[in-house]
Amino acid sequence: MDTRTDIPVRNLEFALDPVAMRHWHGGRKAITAFFDNLSLFFPAGERFFVASVKAHQERVTDPRLRDDVRAFCGQEGLHTREHVRYNRMLEAQGYPAAKLEARTERILKRVTRVVPARRRLAATCALEHFTAALAHGVLSDPQLLEGANPTMAALWSWHAAEESEHKAVAFDVFKAAGGTYLERAWVMIATTLIFWALVIDQQARMMRADGTLFSLREWGSLFVFLWVHPGGLRKMWRLYLGYFKPSFHPWEHDNRDVLEDWKRSHPVSPGYPIAKVSA
């Protein structure tokens, strides 16, 4: 399925302020913590993704896919940089960001030691599918970031757009490396269980640091945001199940329309010098 889009590498640096951006999602503590929670996975996770894809790049013969791999690595490298800065902001706010980042790093180092390379690539495909589904929600439903600090909304929208642009790269490399349907399906199941167990545990730790662990109001607002809001995890669940079709390809969910809408409102060219993006 050749519906690939261009993958420009946008060198953006966001002006993060630990004071102004505490509870940045309109003062909603649990919802802010959910986004912050996800940020803690990204530095180690995206380095893992890049290493997993690079380990198979010699199997890639399609010149365009080779270019896409280079762009994928560039985008993920800049995401890592910005989420390292984001997570240092969380540490300054009193959250256990460094401790939780270090735990993710330890887990992925262990995976790298004991899991064969192609299965690590299959796990990368699974996690890229999660991020692409979340990204589509952010891009397609402005209400998901309604009331958010403009700088944080810009950061998450940028990350969502680029996850959408490169959502098929790891998958296409997996296919080029001889990956099979059964391999990617069972790795997706295992990855789902492990990843969401860590998300739930980490959410509780972030809310404990915020003093809201036992707040029914905050947990209720998060539940409504994720499961009642039509743009939340309900939409992601439908996209998730599509992964288990033998004929699945990430671009069968063609969301270039919302991606183009974002590009029109954020005209940044490839190779653009570092731009301070602030509220």
| Tens digits of residue pLDDT in 57-70 | 999 999 999 999 99
State the pTM of this model: 0.93
12 beta partners: 275
Give the domain extent around 67.
Answer: 22-266
Residue 273's pLDDT band, with cuts at 50, 70 and 90, is very low
pLDDT of residue 207: 98
User: Quick check: helix, strand or coil at residue 226?
Assistant: helix
Residue 120 lies in a domain: yes
Asked if 256 contacts 3 with a C-beta cutoff of 8 angstroms, the reply is yes
Residue 4's pLDDT band, with cuts at 50, 70 and 90, is low
Residue 228's pLDDT band, with cuts at 50, 70 and 90, is confident
Q: Give the list of residues 6+ apart from residue 228 with CB closer than 8 angstroms, or none.
A: none
Number of domain units in the chain: 1
When pLDDT is averaged across residues 214-236 and rounded to a whole number, the result is 87
When pLDDT is averaged across residues 130-142 and rounded to a whole number, the result is 92
Chain centroid to CA 208:
24
Please count the residues of the chain: 279
What are the Cα distances from residue 128, in Å, to 36, 42, 53, 63, 219? Answer: 18, 11, 12, 22, 27
Residue 6 lies in a domain: no
The dihedral over CA atoms of 249, 255, 257, 258, expressed in degrees to the nearest 10, equals: -150
Q: What is the DSSP letter of 250?
A: G
Residue 5 lies in a domain: no
Residue 274 lies in a domain: no
- Residue 3 scores a pLDDT above 60: no
Residue 71 lies in a domain: yes
The dihedral over CA atoms of 235, 237, 238, 239, expressed in degrees to the nearest 10, equals: 90
Please report where in the chains the tokens 């999660």 appear, as a residue.
Answer: 130
pLDDT of residue 269: 41
Largest Cα–Cα distance in the chain?
54
Residue 242 lies in a domain: yes
CATH number at residue 197: 1.10.620
Which residue from 167, 126, 156, 159 is spatially nearest to 251, judged by alpha carbons? 167
What is the C-alpha to C-alpha distance for residues 33 and 40, in angstroms, rounded to an integer? 11
DSSP track, 127-191: HHHHHHHHHHHHHH-GGGGTTB-HHHHHHHHHHHHHHHHTTTHHHHHHHHTT--HHHHHHHHHHH
Residue 13 lies in a domain: no
Residue 106 lies in a domain: yes
- Residue 81 scores a pLDDT above 80: yes
How crowded is the C-beta side of 159, counted as CA atoms within 13 Å? 29
What is the C-alpha to C-alpha distance for residues 7 and 11, in angstroms, rounded to an integer? 13
